[in-house]
Each structure stands twice: as structure tokens, then as C-alpha cells.
């Protein structure tokens, strides 16, 4: 923990773990190997055990996974889908067995063992033997409703086989992709010119979360059951199973696929023997696993052992160690992401690790390179755990060549030559040439054309891909040189669509200054800030000429946003694109500027509830036309809260803070020309 206090370290770990939870469970884009995540989680658990006052209710040790995606409906699990505690050493497995024996007063315990699948945990609900709903684990309490997608997974029974099952049954298990199926899927992806998937786990998670079930149906997903939500439901249809292994056999009879490598063993010796056996078989299995799971086999004993806050006491996951190897750093290069993020990448002497040959490893960011002190020529430990992107774990400094230079973050973007910025309070460095940089080209064009920016209807992702990859459009200014003849030569663009797009592009030339500023894609400048800037400066020239001090005089523009705006306009390549846009006829509407001349200048409003005649959009537009600003939250800086029917917590907060409250007639009076 070095200079950090226990409280500071715990706060850091909580924030870091939650960030990685979201990357793994919600975005399906893990940033670190499972082994490194486990280290962070274990460190936080140890801290909270040593300092109980640090164990806050919102700690990730008290919950599971991440929030469900908003695109899907939400399902509340009848029984929470808990995570498992982990064991990493033989000593920890022996300790687990000892705790179970002592709690149960038994000399020896039987355990049900199974591989730990590396897929996506789901719950399947059956009513009278018919599959009615399926959901992801989500945050453990509620998950995403992916019923229609799960119906396309061919080895999930839509109707149970035989008889004797409960009226309501929730089966828990894992959706995954077999290694052979994954390889074939990636071959098809490459043949179609699409990006291949990183690993089977990401391919399975991404396939299950498709909004179109037809896409999911084309992906070779499999399901394996590993338990039920509530064993008590069996009592209504006859004798309940005595053992977990017996319950699993019932699931098999009803049509659920199970792992063939299941076993029942006795005591710690049996557990460790099973671990060694599966470890030896791991490379030859049809699917990826990252460990094995042990469960007390007798169900009555499971109930006696019970649960801690986030995991059962009767089960543990014994994780395989991360697979590591030594190799040499031949170069450190920078990759530029579609949002301008600069990521250092180590080019390695190829080495076989984790079942594949690795020649590149992420270094995450410049701070991480300096923290680990990775240099060209270094011998490094490379880890490939959980089939995630390989990373450099540590440097073997005693093997470092003499005079190996320290890594220096480049001042210029390696792709376009624009300046690179790295704010002091951020870990990520970024290219500032957002309108010009080829690495950011597609993202910049899509944002520029979006509905709340320049609103160019018909310019979607697939068309942008063709325009950029064909070298037809390099900057947003090139859009205004497109002709219908050029567009109809592209794939799947009919004459009418081409003509409509040309009309939409021409129409977009007449826009507001606020929309134009938002369309530029300046970092830290959202739609509301763009409106504030337009209202304050009035003209594009005045905004582009403003220094940071002048920018900070705009309401709600702080030092971070002011710095981003100034650096964006200071980059000559961005200014060149803006000049080309103006020459092409783009004419952002300008005004006298400085909202101090307007009657509601400097006043902040919050809208809550339903107004009798005004929609929220109309009310906001009328307030902004008078120089006011509409915020989404109530604070001491709020001047007015406009409350309609069914106003909730915002109205209560306004009363608590003594903020002026208006109804619709009072708002209209304030907005009237006579006011």
C-alpha cells in the first residue's frame, strides 16, 4: 500500500474492481487477466477483514458482477445468482475442507466436483416443463432478459423430457462456445471481411447479447447446467434429492446437458486429485475452463453451512494458475483507438504461452509502462490468463541490457502527427487531431452526422465504412463534396438513397452554432456544454480565439473542459478541417454572443414531472432561447425547479434546499416578452 492509507487503498480498489466488473460483465471487454482481478479482489477482502470499518455496503465484495444492459428488459432473480469464493493453492483447499468438516461435525465429507466453465452464467425458468424465460446473471439480483436469444441455443430444452419435474423450475448454468465451433466462426468472420472474435468467452457473451435473435441463431452456442436456484421446489413432486450429484442426474434425465467430467470425491485428498486430473485434461477439453468447482454433495449439509454475503460456504472455485512465460521486448509501439486513446503495445519475441504463440502484449497506458518500468530489450514475464489479451506482468530487471532507455510517451500521434495530450488527472493519453486522424476517422464522421449534431439522415455505419475504406472521405469536410454519382457506385446504395443523402448533406449546411460545436467531437464537450459555449461566445471565430481563462467564464465549463477545447482549436489540422467545412458552405448560425444580454442569462432550471401543455423539449427550448440553462439535477446552484404532475425526488430536493418552485403558468409568465 506504500504511501496510501488503508482507507485510501480500499477506496482505490473498490473503484478499480467496479471498473473491471463493468468491462467484464457488461461490456464484454475485459482489460486485465482474471488472475490480476482475483489479486485485486483478494486484497480488498483482506483489507476489509483487517479493518471492518472499511467494509461499506457498496463494496464489490458485497455484490456480484455488473448491471444489466439497458437495451434488454430486466429480470429479478427469484433466488440471487451468487458468485463463488476462490481458492488458488492446495493449502486453501485443505482449509475449505477443514471448515466444512468442523461446521458439520464430520470426519469426512463427499464433494461433487465439476469443471469451471469460462462462459456466461444464465438462469432458465420452466413452468410446467416449458421454457418461459431466460436471464443473464447481471448484478446477481437482476439480469438481462435474453429469452428469445436463448431459444436459439439448440441444446437448451424448450420442453422438458419425461416427468416428475416441479411446476416451476429454475436451472442455472453456463452458455459458452466450443473451441472447434469458435475456430469455424472466426474463419467465417475473416472470410466475410469482419473482425474475428478475441476468444470463445467473448464470442459467446457477444452472441447472446445480440438485439436480433436471428444473429444469435447463427452462432454455435452451447449450454451446460450446473445446478438449480431452489432445491426446495422438488418436495412438491415427490422425494427431494439427497445429494447434489443426484439432483444433476435428474436434470440430465429431463434433457439438460451436463459436463461429462463431473465426479464425486472424498475429502481434501479427493479434491486435489480431481484438480490435478482436470488440469491434465484441460488442453484436450472441448471448451475453455479456468478452474474446477467443489460443492458439498449432501444438500442438507449445504443448507446447514449456508451463505456469506456474496457466496455459499459449501462451495469454492479452485482456479488454475495464470499461464506465464519469459520473452524479450523487441519494441514498444503505440496504437491509436477510434476515440484517439493512445495504447502502448509491447512487440515481443514470439513465445508459446496459454496454448498460443504470443508476439504482442498490451501495456495499457504510459503510467503503467512507467510503473512496471518496461523498456526495449527487457526480459519480461508475459501472462495469458483466462484467454484474455496477453499482458506484461513484470520485468526481470537483472537481465536488463546496459543503457536500456526509459519509455517516453510520444508528443505526436504516430498515425497523423497531431499533438498528443495527457491531462494530469487521467491515465489515458489521446491524439488531439479528432477531425483529421485516420485512426479516429469513422468515429468522428458518425458523431458529426448524428441526429443531435449535424443530423445527416442516411449516413450510417456501413456507409461510413465504405466511404472511409474506399478513401472517398477523409474528413467531415469531404462529405460536402459527395455527389449522387459517387454514392451509387457503392455497395447497396440505390439511386433514390444516394439522392436523399445528398439532399440531407446539403440541408445540414444550415445549422446552429451549438450543433456545429457539438458535431466537432471535442473531448469533454457534450450537447449541453456546446449550447453554453454557443450562447456565450455567439460566433465560431470568438470561440476559436478564446483562451482558457475566457472559456472558464462560461457556466459549467471548468479547467478540464477548457483545456480540452483550447487544445482542440490549437491543433492546426483541426482548424484546417473547420476552414474546409466553412468553405464547403457549412454556415453555423451566429448571434451577437454573450448571453448576459438575455433576460434569463446565468439562470439554471430543472424540469420535473409532466407539464399540462408543454413537452419537456419545448420548455427547454424556450428557456434556452431566453438565455437560461436546463440541468438534470437539483443543487444549491439551481435557480428554479419547474414542477408538473407526478414530480418526484427533484421536487423534494428543491424544497429541502429552498430553491424557487414554478408551475407551468408561472414559467410561461417568466418566459413572456413582457417579463
**pLDDT value of residue 168:** 93
Kindly state the cell numbers that stand for 170: 429454475
Per-domain residue ranges for the chain? Answer: 6-62, 86-319, 323-399, 415-596, 598-671
Kindly state the cell numbers that stand for 660: 424557487
Does position 26 have pLDDT exceeding 50, yes or no? Answer: no
Q: What are phi and psi of 520, to 5 degrees?
A: -65, -20
* CATH value of 323-399 in 2.40.37.10, 1.20.1050.10, 2.40.50.140, 1.10.10.60: 2.40.50.140
Kindly state the cell numbers that stand for 148: 428469445
Provide the CATH number for the domain formed by 415-596 in this structure.
1.10.150.20
Does position 262 have pLDDT exceeding 50, yes or no? Answer: yes
Q: pLDDT-derived band of residue 63, with 50, 70 and 90 as boundaries? A: very low
For the whole model, what pTM was predicted?
0.48
Alpha-carbon distance of 327 to 349, in angstroms, equals 6
Mean pLDDT within 389-409: 87
Long-range residue pairs from 212-220, CB within 8 A, at least 24 positions apart, any chain: 213/148, 213/149, 213/151, 213/152, 216/149, 216/152, 216/153, 217/152, 219/177, 219/185, 220/177, 220/178, 220/181, 220/182, 220/184, 220/185
Question: Which positions are catalytic?
Answer: 116
- Greater confidence (195 vs 80) lies with 80
Mean pLDDT within 65-89: 77
Specify the DSSP element, H or E, that contains 183: helix 179-191
- Report whether CATH 3.30.2350.10 matches the domain 86-319: no
Helix axes 6-21, 34-50, angle to 10 degrees: 140
CB-based contact 606:631 (threshold 8 Å):
yes
Q: Which residues pair with 436 in a beta bridge?
A: none
- If one counts every other C-beta atom within 10 angstroms of the C-beta of residue 122, the result is 25
* CATH value of 6-62 in 3.30.1360.120, 1.10.287.610, 3.30.2310.20, 1.10.3720.10: 1.10.287.610
**pLDDT value of residue 381:** 85
Does position 27 have pLDDT exceeding 60, yes or no? Answer: no
Within 433-524, residue ranges assigned H as helices are: 441-449, 461-469, 484-488, 495-507, 513-519
The SS3 of residue 642 is strand
Kindly state the cell numbers that stand for 154: 439448440
List the one residue out of 199, 203, 255, 200 whose CA is nearest residue 225. Answer: 255
Q: Which of 3-7, 57-61, 557-561, 643-647 has the lowest mean pLDDT?
A: 57-61
- Greater confidence (99 vs 182) lies with 99
Q: What are phi and psi of 78, to 5 degrees?
A: -60, -35
- Report whether CATH 2.40.50.140 matches the domain 598-671: no
Could you report the per-residue pLDDT of 325-379, keeping only the tens digit for each?
789 999 999 988 877 889 899 999 998 776 678 889 888 888 889 888 999 999 9
Alpha-carbon distance of 647 to 612, in angstroms, equals 12
CB-based contact 173:258 (threshold 8 Å):
no
Mean pLDDT within 433-448: 87
Could you report the per-residue pLDDT of 136-182, keeping only the tens digit for each?
988 888 888 888 888 888 888 888 888 889 999 999 999 998 988 88
- Write down the residue that cell numbers 453451512 correspond to: 305
Listed in order, strand segments (DSSP E) in 307-444 are 315-319, 323-336, 341-353, 356-362, 379-384, 391-395, 420-421, 429-431
Q: What are phi and psi of 254, to 5 degrees?
A: -85, 0
Amino acid at each position: 500500500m506504500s504511501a496510501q492509507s488503508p482507507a485510501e487503498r480500499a477506496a482505490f480498489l473498490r473503484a478499480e474492481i467496479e471498473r473491471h466488473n463493468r468491462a467484464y460483465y457488461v461490456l464484454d471487454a475485459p482489460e486485465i487477466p482474471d488472475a490480476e482481478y482475483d489479486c485485486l479482489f483478494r486484497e480488498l477482502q483482506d483489507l476489509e477483514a483487517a479493518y471492518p470499518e472499511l467494509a461499506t455496503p457498496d463494496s464489490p465484495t458485497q455484490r456480484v458482477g455488473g448491471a444489466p444492459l439497458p437495451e434488454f428488459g430486466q429480470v429479478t432473480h427469484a433466488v440471487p445468482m451468487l458468485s463463488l469464493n476462490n481458492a488458488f493453492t492446495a493449502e486453501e483447499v485443505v482449509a475449505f475442507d477443514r471448515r466444512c468438516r468442523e461446521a458439520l461435525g464430520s470426519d469426512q465429507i463427499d464433494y461433487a466436483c465439476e469443471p469451471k466453465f469460462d462462459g456466461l452464467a444464465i438462469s432458465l425458468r420452466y413452468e410446467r416443463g416449458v421454457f418461459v424465460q431466460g436471464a443473464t446473471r447481471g448484478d446477481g439480483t437482476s439480469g438481462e432478459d435474453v429469452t428469445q436469444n436463448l431459444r436459439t441455443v439448440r441444446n437448451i430444452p424448450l420442453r422438458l423430457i419425461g416427468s416428475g419435474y416441479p411446476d416451476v423450475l429454475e436451472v442455472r448454468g453456463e452458455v459458452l462456445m466450443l473451441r472447434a465451433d469458435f475456430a469455424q466462426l472466426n474463419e467465417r468472420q475473416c472470410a466475410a471481411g469482419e473482425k474475428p472474435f478475441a476468444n470463445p468467452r467473448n464470442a459467446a457473451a457477444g452472441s447472446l447479447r445480440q438485439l436480433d435473435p436471428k444473429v444469435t441463431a447463427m452462432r454455435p452456442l452451447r449450454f451446460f447446467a450446473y445446478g438449480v436456484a431452489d432445491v426446495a421446489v422438488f418436495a412438491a413432486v415427490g422425494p427431494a434429492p439427497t445429494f447434489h450429484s443426484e439432483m444433476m442426474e435428474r436434470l440430465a434425465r429431463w434433457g439438460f446437458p451436463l459436463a461429462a467430467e463431473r465426479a464425486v470425491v472424498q475429502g481434501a485428498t479427493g479434491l486435489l486429485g480431481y484438480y490435478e486430473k482436470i488440469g491434465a485434461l484441460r488442453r484436450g477439453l472441448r471448451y475453455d475452463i479456468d478452474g474446477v468447482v467443489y460443492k458439498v454433495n449432501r444438500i442438507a449439509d449445504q443448507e446447514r453451512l449456508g451463505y456469506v454475503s456474496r457466496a455459499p460456504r459449501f462451495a469454492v472455485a479452485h482456479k488454475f494458475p495464470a499461464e506465464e512465460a519469459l520473452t524479450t521486448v523487441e519494441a514498444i509501439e503505440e496504437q491509436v483507438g477510434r476515440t484517439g486513446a493512445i495504447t502502448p503495445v509491447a512487440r515481443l519475441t514470439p513465445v508459446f504461452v496459454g496454448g498460443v504463440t504470443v508476439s504482442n502484449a498490451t501495456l495499457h497506458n504510459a503510467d503503467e509502462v512507467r510503473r512496471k518500468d518496461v523498456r526495449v530489450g527487457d526480459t519480461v514475464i508475459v501472462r495469458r490468463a483466462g484467454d484474455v489479451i496477453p499482458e506484461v506482468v513484470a520485468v526481470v530487471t537483472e537481465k536488463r541490457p546496459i543503457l536500456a532507455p526509459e519509455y517516453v510517451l510520444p508528443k505526436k500521434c504516430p498515425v497523423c502527427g497531431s499533438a498528443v495530450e495527457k491531462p494530469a488527472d487521467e491515465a489515458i493519453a489521446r491524439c488531439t487531431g479528432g477531425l483529421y486522424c485516420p485512426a479516429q476517422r469513422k468515429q468522428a464522421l458518425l458523431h458529426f452526422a448524428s441526429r443531435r449534431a449535424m443530423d445527416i439522415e442516411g449516413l450510417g455505419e456501413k456507409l461510413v465504412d465504405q466511404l472511409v475504406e474506399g478513401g472517398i472521405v477523409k474528413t467531415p469536410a469531404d462529405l460536402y463534396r459527395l455527389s449522387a454519382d459517387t454514392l451509387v457506385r457503392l455497395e447497396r446504395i440505390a439511386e433514390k438513397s444516394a439522392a436523399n443523402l445528398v439532399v440531407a448533406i446539403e440541408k445540414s449546411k444550415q445549422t446552429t452554432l451549438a450543433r456545429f460545436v457539438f458535431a466537432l467531437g471535442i473531448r469533454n464537450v457534450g450537447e449541453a456544454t456546446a449550447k453554453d459555449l454557443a450562447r456565450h461566445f455567439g460566433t465560431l471565430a470568438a470561440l476559436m480565439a478564446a483562451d482558457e481563462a475566457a472559456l472558464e467564464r462560461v457556466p459549467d465549463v471548468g479547467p478540464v473542459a477548457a483545456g480540452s477545447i483550447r487544445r482542440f482549436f490549437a491543433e492546426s489540422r483541426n482548424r484546417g478541417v473547420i476552414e474546409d467545412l466553412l468553405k464547403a458552405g457549412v454556415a453555423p448560425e451566429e448571434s451577437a454572443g454573450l448571453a448576459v444580454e438575455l433576460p434569463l442569462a446565468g439562470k439554471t432550471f430543472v424540469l420535473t414531472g409532466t407539464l399540462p401543455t408543454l413537452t419537456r423539449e419545448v420548455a427547454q427550448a424556450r428557456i434556452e432561447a431566453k438565455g437560461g440553462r436546463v440541468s438534470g439535477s437539483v443543487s444549491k446552484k439551481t435557480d428554479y425547479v419547474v414542477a408538473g404532475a407526478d414530480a418526484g425526488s427533484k421536487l423534494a430536493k428543491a424544497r429541502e434546499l429552498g430553491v424557487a418552485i414554478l408551475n407551468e403558468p408561472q414559467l410561461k409568465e417568466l418566459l413572456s416578452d413582457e417579463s
